[in-house]
A and B are shown apart, each in its own frame.
Chain A
């Protein structure tokens, strides 16, 4: 049934539970359902009772629906928030097979057994059934809506915004505040949860400045929209107050439209405001009475919203149960709109008379009837008892200011006994003030004045001048409320509709001594549903107070935490889906490697080729074996640009390196390279690498790929904090240089073909070179154990140089190799990576105690001498080879003595790296073994408990190939 209504929208078609309905574009789905007389929109959480629409806002506890179909469907959408569009599809939740006939309604018959904390007292026998039967069954039955479980491909976004003043809420208080501040030149953001700005102006019939409230609001919005220093953010809920004026907000960008490519559904904002004013208004508080959860029972302000704003009548014979003056607006506004009022039950004895409908003074509703929709109510009043036929009961128990944001940093709200509500504590969030109904000012004129006053204060704090402010005239009636939290009687009276918590549950909690409001909340789950108890918190603690003989302030309230409304993880994580999760760092040879079909492996944020498949090869192992042989017998080229490269220079650069490395570098001559070990302050090894001296006071150090950032931070820390006396500069040049390793017996031949005048470089030397006229650097170092070089050019030439190197290598019977082969080559030589330097290893564990200089101090020196780090029982680096040819060795396996039961207490160490060695034709590994140095030649068993692999191994020195190093030293 459609009335006039203020909302104007073209007619569209939507579907609910498969039924096609006529709707007006832009109205909430709840209004559409009401217009089409759909009364049961869902089933309650525990008891599966039929439920209808209760409110007209985002605090809705009952009308949760699933919107959309397929992968992108969204559960638990409040029908009071979802705007309809042509083609919208929505379904009810928590019912099977249908919301009209739900088999789980049998729960309602079992209600005496399903009260607060029932799962602590029931489903206990037989014991084995709990994990296998009861818990899975309860889990399946729990919850309201369900995710699709598929990747939905919907787009969300995140964004940042900045302003002088953030005004939260665009009702009378917020509009006044925003206008005052904007006219004074402040940068203002005005955010409101609704599609239209105006707050209660949109649904009430009062006047402001001689205009109907909603027209006054529209005029202010028009003025603000034209100002360049104002950003209007409708459909935006400020969800949380965080440090230093940062607020989280969720904008429903396009949930009111069909999906479109690139159109984000939601945007999660972080708004930084120098000042903010909370004008979030208040939420109406219902009264709990027996049978108060039937479809058709609604808050009075919601009834007015549906009739006045949306033009739909929630009933044909509406009754009102009120303890407030404000509730009477419902009767007047509905009558004016042509909706029949069947009567008003006013709990107060001084309620006015009316000629148009019966008024029951001292009236309380004590019962209801109508399972799938209200049909009648039972009223007890000063004149007796009666039963009244009605299909919609509007309930008004008072207003609860929306104080939530003011508590997000730990403050608790304060009880205001005259207004019978909680109001914000002063200064709960620095920089945030509160205006209007959100702080208990309930008259329209009061809200306008309050908004203006807070804006003036904010402008003063911002250092902006504020001119004269005129506050338009509006009603200024006192808002009288009588305290009525619940009506005792037979039958359950609901407090938390969303979690199915009743007054009886609170009573049970109190009886069982869960008397603290914190305990009551957790024991009964009141306030713990997605609606966060917005329509039940105050009533529940008032009931608890009454039952435990305390006042409301004595009972206190639980706190509020962000978010104020549910926020989808897709919005908070926008941009992080799939490959958006992290930036991709690509090496200079990346395109060429991809073109050759090299699969990529992630090393930190870098992508590195695993191997370069040749035609006919069946897998990575085959390619890896070929590449290893190729490097040992001819020449291989690999991209090492990803390793960290840091230039350290300055008058004290040498002394600085002496302090960060365990060895001495101040004596390193220009043109020479030295291997170095860096410890953390706690004495454990942080990284190993090389340092080259480029000239007096100029060095270039390398780090392992994944540790580059950590080492850079460490160097900054040492320079700024530990040795501020040293005059030194460290800067990363990782990105500037493309660097490639050329390794193998014919590496020198290759370089001869590449370079203009190849230098004679001794092992561990460096020189400047020219590559086809481009200035580059050459290093003679080896990670493969063959004669090896690294050649560096500025990164813009990296791709071209790579291609040349590969062509020249192939001409010599070699080619490119990837990191699988790189790893095998170094394991064969016993060289270390962060598989060994895993943050738990000391220099002694690695067999490198000789690298700790005794002549100078260095970072970690003192801590490395602690008994725990020098304990001779610590596992030490060894090599491992399977005794039986062909047996595998698995990294991560633990080492045990032969014949010992392999369990935690008998473990002697572990395998840190393992591979198949193409050079030696067997599996090979490195690991740590207690007393490793004394046990060379003995046997141990490597056990991988997860993959069930056990391998008998010989303990050897770490280096398995060319132990003298002759091949690389030349």
Chain B
């Protein structure tokens, strides 16, 4: 109990709390402006967290992303444009509610369900993470190697594009992580004689390039004017919300738990959780025929799930250092910059930090209620900011942000080059999530692989000799077999379609 109080005391210090509130406001802004995703918002936040202590830095990221995932629902209900991809699953449904004159109810349900989902996710995190950490204290390099590989394979498995492109994206990330001094012998690799690259590719410019520059390029090419949002009566956002959610309480619980689990899977984040929760609630619903006509049941489920997924993603990130989604991949990057290596040892050595993260999550989810109301109130102004003004300023922010971490213009070049390459890759259906996961995990994979293979003296059977390591290994190989099988199946089906079509 003392530890809990200390954690809350630490987070509620005026300075830290101010940063959390400021980050929340920022997150609400990012989330409610269409085109600015939670991941992009986090990437832009990183240069600033660089100057903060670990707890406020993590607090800022947690608060900003929690708010952003909820705020993505606001333009969804008002304009039928999801603010972040995580709201896309039920944008149509909440817009139908607006057409029925229930826009306030839709937003109120979004807000309260986001809070409930978020809190359930935190509860799962608080209960599960230390238990898993305790088990994983006995892990050796074999287990870590397989676990990291399993995480990366999972990221490819859940991405919607072709597995071949996912693997290639993964390879780029792994190769980027090998640049610099190698972990085994301290040899310089792929530095092209450049002193700036000896320390490796810095993570901040890569993140900004991948998630912000790509989006700026798309938005600048295709400027869009948002339609005017309708007026919202705040009073109506509160009344009737409780009874609606109570009616679908089963869905809230199911979707929150489901969301936490999906969030914990590496590579699958809030957006996938929302789609699956929406589909499942339709399947289990007593009146599935009402879905798509402005019926709140799907919204209740999906908006609980996406916020739960956000917290769920922290389970593997904190326990193993294996990110559950792109946002936690960035968070791990930030922790590493602060000299904290996430892993089971953090739960033993740095319980203060772990408890503070839990506290931040709880506070951020509770803050969502008052700040969310304010955001809905202010959304008319926010949504009237013209996009063609916004993106040049964000570009300037990116340039300074990339420069600020190491005060070198070299990082600005890294940002630009990575951004342009990522843009071309995304245009060609290469998923970016495996790349960022691989870049963060690359060193962990290589280090544990080299340790293992040197220990095993090249005997690959040693990789399967320990019970947990072996199980993880078999699981990884099974996913690979599935991936290869799926690719071959797709290829033969395409060929068959071709021959019958001709």
A and B: real partners?
no
